Each structure stands twice: as C-alpha cells, then as structure tokens.
A and B are shown apart, each in its own frame.
Chain A
Amino acid sequence: MSFGGLMALRNVSFDVIEGDIKALIGPNGAGKTTLLNIVSGIHQPDKGDVFFLGEKLVNVAPARIARKGISRTFQHVELFGNMTVIENIMVGQYARTRSGFLSSGFKLPFVVKEEREIQRKSEEILEYINLGQRKDEPASNLPIGEQRTLEIGRALATGPRLVLLDEPAAGLNIKETRNLGEIIRKIRDELKITVVLVEHDMDLVMSISDSIIVLNFGEVIAEGTPLEIQKNHEVIVAYLGEEEEIQRGYNAHT
C-alpha cells in the first residue's frame, strides 16, 4: 500500500485466528490504521490480498465488507452525532434488516414490527455495554469514554464475526480503560467475536491480547504472545530508540 511516493505498508502478512484478540501495535506512523482501512475496504491495496473466512476482500465496497461480518471503530470517534445513543445502535443493525426500501414503504405493519424488534435488541446491546441509562441522549453529548464504548456497541450491532478496534483507549482514564478491557474480553468470551485491536496502551494490550503483531515503518518486525513481545529486542528498539546500541558502541570504545 502506498500513498503517492510513500510506502505505508509492505510485505505485511499475518493471520488472525478465530476467537482471538489480536493486538496490532507499533509506533505512530507504522501503518496500523492503514492496515485496518485496507481490511475494512476504505483503501484498496496496490498489491496483496485480504482473506476473510476464505473469501477475498480486496476491491469489495466497505458496505459489502460490513455485511460480510467485519465491523470497526475509529481512532477519531465517528458516531452519528446528532442522533440519539439508541438510534446509533439501531442504524448499526440496518444492514441486518430484511426490509429493503421498497418493501418498507408499502408493508407498514411489518416495518413497525421489525422496528420494535430492532429497538428491543438495541436496548439489549446498550445494557451489555453499560450505556442503558443514556439511550435517549444525543450521542455527541456523551463523554469521550462513553462515545468510544457506544462506537463499539454500534460495531457489535452489525452482527460481526470480526471487530477492528482502532485505538479504543485513546483519551480514556484508567477506570474507563479497565472497563473497556472488560468489554473487549466479554466480546471474545461471551459473544465469540474475533477482535483485532490497534492500541498504544501497553497495559491494556498485554493484559487482554492472545497474540500481538508489531509494525514499524510499514513492516512486521515481530509477532507472538504478549510475553514474547515484551522480551523481543527489536520491539524495544523500535519503541525506545537505539539507546542500547549506542550504549554498546560506547562500551566498545572504552
């Protein structure tokens, strides 16, 4: 994947195992969000493939990819701001509704019934992510932590097999982050949804991930369990700079 002359991602190849929480970490500009954008269909890669449940996802429109079962959240929250909390969730379920726009124009009783069903399900989702009390407030009125949770709720509402979370803990305090960790774990354990997590909060990443992949300058530099990654030399260099190298050089001189 490249933008103009800038190669954002190259030779990146990895698998995500169903039912895992896979974290994608790396310094700023490593290409993490670009990777999510490719998977969700916002960007088309110059070369390479994305497979999901055996199906090729390159050159498929974002809306179709969402319908196939991949949903996501954004680094900068992208809610439907002037709609209410519950409406955000309801719109998330739109792709799963059966009535096309013609039938919904003519079969009113069916539409009303379906609408009620969706409303009920949306309330369940809100309870699940602890936003039940907020349901009739405009989404833009929520504090950032709850907006991020709501975005996750909306992603869940589409009925995904895989959710991509782009820095869900950014701007959250410790308590909110812990709460978020709980929700992500619940998504994996109770809902059996696979999670790909892009995140800078290492405590969160290390505590909930099943495996971690590290990107730097558009390339994979390490992959493994949280423990392996913590010990990986290259990762430490990527994050903390060449300090150790300098030290070694210094030692060589003396």
Chain B
Amino acid sequence: MLTVFLQFLFSGLTVGAVYALVGIGFNITYNATSIINLAQGEFVVIGGLMMWFFAESLKLPFLVSVAFTIISAGIVGLLMERLTIKPLKNPDLLLMIMITIAVSIVLRGILMFAFGKDPYVYPSFTEGEPLSIYGAIIQQQTLWVIGITGFCIILLFFFFKKTMVGKAMLACAVNPTAAKLVGINVSRMVMLSFVLSAVVGAIGGMAITPISLMEYDKGPMLAVKGFCAAIMGGLGTNRGAVIGGFIIGILESMTAGYIHSGLKDAVALIILLLILFFKPAGIFVSKAMHQLRKF
C-alpha cells in the first residue's frame, strides 16, 4: 500500500519539477514584461529534442551537448523576441500574448518537420541502480530532475534578488517608463527575459526526456500545466510556481494511479478553472500584492 503510494508520489514529484520549471519560465517573462509567453511549453520540447540531436544523433560528449542545447534554446528565445515582439509599433499586451500563441504553433510546425512525429529518448544522465525506498523505485534520473530544478530555482532567486541586472529586469516590468528614464535599456531586458525563460524551459526538457520521452507536440500540455502551476502560486512569484508545480504533479500522478490514467490531464485543467473562479490572484498572493499587477 505504502509502496504504491510512494511510487505515485515520486513520479508526481518528477513531473511536478518540470511543471515548476515551466511555471518559472512564465514568471520570468511575466516579471520583466507582463507578457504571458504561451510558447513556454515549446521551449521544453526544444530542450529535449535538441539534446537528443546533439547527444544521440551527432554523438557529441554529454556536457557539450548540454551546452549546445542551452545555447540553441537561448537563440530561439532571442529570435522570438527580436522577430515578433520588438518590431511591434504599439505593444499591446493582449496582442503580444496572441503572438506568443502564433509562435508556439510555428515552432511546433518546425519541430515536426525537423524531428517527425516520433517520440525521442536518450539514456539517463548517470547509469546506475535505482534507489529503493520502502519498495518504491526511484530512478537516478528522477533525482537529476529534482536536483536540477532546485539548482535553477536557487540560481534565479540569486539573479533577481542579488544582481543589478535582475533588479533592473524587475524594474522594467513594474514601470517601463521610469526604467527607461533611469537609463535601463528596456528592450534589451525584454530580450534577456525571453532568452532566460527559453533556457530554463529547455533545461527542464533535457532533464525529463530520459524519463517521459519527448515529441514535437508535447508543448501545449506542458504550457497549460506550467501555467496552472504559475497561476496557482500567483503569477510572478517563483516560490509559488514551485509549490504549485509539485502539487499539480502529485495530484496528477495520484489521479492517474488511483482513479484512472485518462483523467490525468483533466486534473490540471480542473485546478486551473477552480483557481480562476475562486482565487484568481493565486493561493500564495495577498490581495494588496495582486492590486499592483496588470493581470
């Protein structure tokens, strides 16, 4: 009984970690620009597929593949901002969000042409015996996923709280006019936020692919769940996105295990609807904080 429960819990934590990373990706662009970048899920797919391309197809060494994958995801984020967001004459928020949907569709099309419709997989980062806790099996890759997520969170926390660039990026979101007039290049900050969120998403994709496989059209579902995680914690707060991501991951895996696996995807959507109905500011956000927001 306990074994089964733990098994579901661990698999929930694994997917939850990826949802958390997607949620954080949403937060990064949202915090710097107030845009909700709905192509966030595609960044994860790019991470997984590019990693396969470099490591399995080109047979490059592991760390080189990781670096190349991160760089290519960063370039996709950069191009996305420079080609679709920056040229806008009247940067209307709703318009920009629609553009991100369009970009996600285009990216999905490109990925399908490049990689086809088959799922891809590559070996875990480290070979070795899986751990066993009370009979529940934890693959080593699971630890990698959770560890990498934790590392990213700490790094981002440091970036936004402790570096001037991070602060300047936040300032752009709070008040772009004032940011410009204290000498911050707002357009460059927006670009940087897209690059950063693409990289975070791709890192999640690289880590999860050995466990859950990756195919070209996984993006939208990941985006919905990551968005759900972000909104659950209150858009913009990374702590909230992490907790939200894990809650959704665990609920999903429990539902799949104890009720029916077909209901898995419904869980996140039901949670999303409930939150939007009853607590649209997010569970961890006070009313006062919410009033400072545009959404």
Contact = CB atoms under 8 A, between A and B. Distances in A.
A112 interface: yes
Secondary structure at chain B's binding surface: helix, strand, loop or mixed? helix
Most buried by B among A91, A105, A155: A91
Given A81-B174, A81-B292, A82-B289, A94 B162 contact: no
Contacts of A120: none
Interface string A146-159: 00000000110110
B184 interface: yes
B164 to A, nearest CB: 5
Interface residues of B, number: 24
B177 A91 contact: no
Secondary structure at chain A's binding surface: helix, strand, loop or mixed? helix
B175 A157 contact: no
Interface in A35-89: 40, 42, 61-64, 66-67, 71-72, 74, 78-83, 87
A254 B178 CA distance: 58
A115 B185 CA distance: 19
A62 B181 CA distance: 6
For this complex, into which size category does the number of interface residues on chain A fall? 35 or more
Interface string B264-295: 00000000000000000000000001001000
Contacts of B167: 83, 87, 90-91, 94
Given A104-B164, A104-B165, A112-B162, A94 B178 contact: no
Contacts of B184: 63, 91, 94-95
B238 to A, nearest CB: 15
A61 B178 CA distance: 13
Contacts of A64: 183
A194 B186 CA distance: 26
A140 interface: yes
B57 interface: no
A115 B162 contact: yes
A79 B177 CA distance: 10
A118 interface: yes
A66 B164 contact: no
- Nearest first, the 7 A-B pairs at minimum CB distance are A95-B183, A66-B183, A78-B178, A62-B180, A80-B174, A91-B171, A94-B168
23 contacts: A40-B181, A42-B181, A63-B181, A66-B180, A66-B182, A71-B181, A78-B175, A78-B178, A81-B174, A91-B164, A91-B167, A94-B182, A95-B182, A95-B183, A99-B165, A101-B165, A101-B188, A105-B165, A111-B162, A115-B162, A115-B164, A140-B292, A154-B178
